[in-house]
Amino acid sequence: MAEAETVNGVKEENKLWKGVFAVSGIMFTLVIYGLLQEKIMRVPYGLNKEFFKYSLFLVFCNRLTTSAVSAAALLASKKVLDPVAPVYKYCLISVTNILTTTCQYEALKYVSFPVQTLAKCAKMIPVMVWGALIMQKKYKGFDYLVAFLVTLGCSVFILFPAGEDISPYNKGRENTVWGVSLMAGYLGFDGFTSTFQDKLFKGYNMEIHNQIFYTTLCSCVLSFTGLILQGHLLLAVDFVSRHRDCLLDIALLSTVATASQFFISYTIRTFGALTFAAIMTTRQLASIMLSCIWFSHPLSWEQCIGSVIVFGSLYAKNLLNNKKSQSQPPPPELPQYEKAEGS
């Protein structure tokens, strides 16, 4: 009896340390990732106060790092590098993923990071739409209620900013429209990407590293081609060669984006999607607070109310799902945060 209690105690302690490892890993990598995004796209470099404008170059660097690491993971685990699904399906995910990330980076030129982060919480709406269209999924009334409340909170946060000049390019308040349009593009493309990834996993016997490797490899080729066609490749290289601190920021951004993939996979595998969703909601809240402190973003009282509505709704959803999972087998859930945001 004493031995059984000792074994249970050791298991509980191991689970606690695994939880600490998962939470600290996700919080550290993705909070740093968010701060670096904002610094690279919104803070000028050098004595001449030059802004880095080549968001597709960031996509290319991120995808190059992730594809290299996922290839190493496949080789280390002695799993086949051959594609499991037709290559064009990986390419389709890559195209929408590049559009997702580009919209995300470009939006930071026109809206603040707190606005962008809170708007990402509304990603369940396009996921529900695409899920119904592509996967023929059906959702409950509570899901629609949470989606409505999140949208309401995001709208309040965006429509009632504390300051007028929200763009680092000093073009005034009109940029809110373009910034919100880019975020709408981000949400639409991201919703399609995650839903199609879900379909790909269910349709084929596919390892996560296999999908990551081929989608990021396709993304490398496509983003590299886009940089050449736009004439931005040499301009981006010239910029980082003149501003070494920008090169360091981009290298660190790619590193933490790739590292976050490991922590995300580990957390979902060890604790499940519900625990992961709660951690990610907390991470978004922490990112907004840290960004407001670090980059001196003022918040109006309306924005504070909007934040409470959004995060209150998400925590209520996580709590309800957790209770349901303890009492009965969980129903099919919305795909949530399957990757590092924008990675």
What digits encode the pLDDT tens for the residues 15-32?
778 888 888 888 888 889
Residue 207 has pLDDT above 90, yes or no: no
Please name the residue that has the structure tokens 């981009």.
250
170 Rama sector, left if φ>0, alpha if ψ -120 to 50, beta otherwise: left
Q: What is the pLDDT of residue 272?
A: 61
Q: At what angle do helices 55-76 and 87-107 cross, to 10 degrees?
A: 140
Mean pLDDT across 268-273 = 66
Single-letter code of the amino acid located at 227: L
**pLDDT confidence of 57, banded at 50, 70, 90?**
very high
State the burial class of residue 62 (Cβ atoms within 10 Å of its Cβ: 0-12, 13-18, 19+).
buried
Instruction: Pick 159 or 248 by higher pLDDT.
Output: 248
**pLDDT confidence of 173, banded at 50, 70, 90?**
very low
Instruction: Pick 268 or 113 by higher pLDDT.
Output: 113
Q: What is the pLDDT of residue 332?
A: 46
Q: What is the pLDDT of residue 340?
A: 47
Mean pLDDT across 208-228 = 86
Q: Give me the percent of the chain exceeding a pLDDT of 90.
A: 15
Q: What is the pLDDT of residue 276?
A: 64
| Contacts for 139-148: CB closer than 8 Å, 24+ residues apart | 139/334, 140/331, 142/317, 142/320, 143/334, 146/313, 146/314, 146/316, 146/317, 147/122
Most confident region among 95-99, 120-124, 194-198, 253-257 by mean pLDDT? 253-257
- The pLDDT tens digits for 107-156 are 887 877 777 777 777 777 777 777 777 767 777 778 788 878 887 887 77
299 Rama sector, left if φ>0, alpha if ψ -120 to 50, beta otherwise: beta
* Mean pLDDT, the chain, integer: 78
Most confident region among 83-92, 260-269, 320-329 by mean pLDDT? 83-92
**pLDDT confidence of 238, banded at 50, 70, 90?**
very high
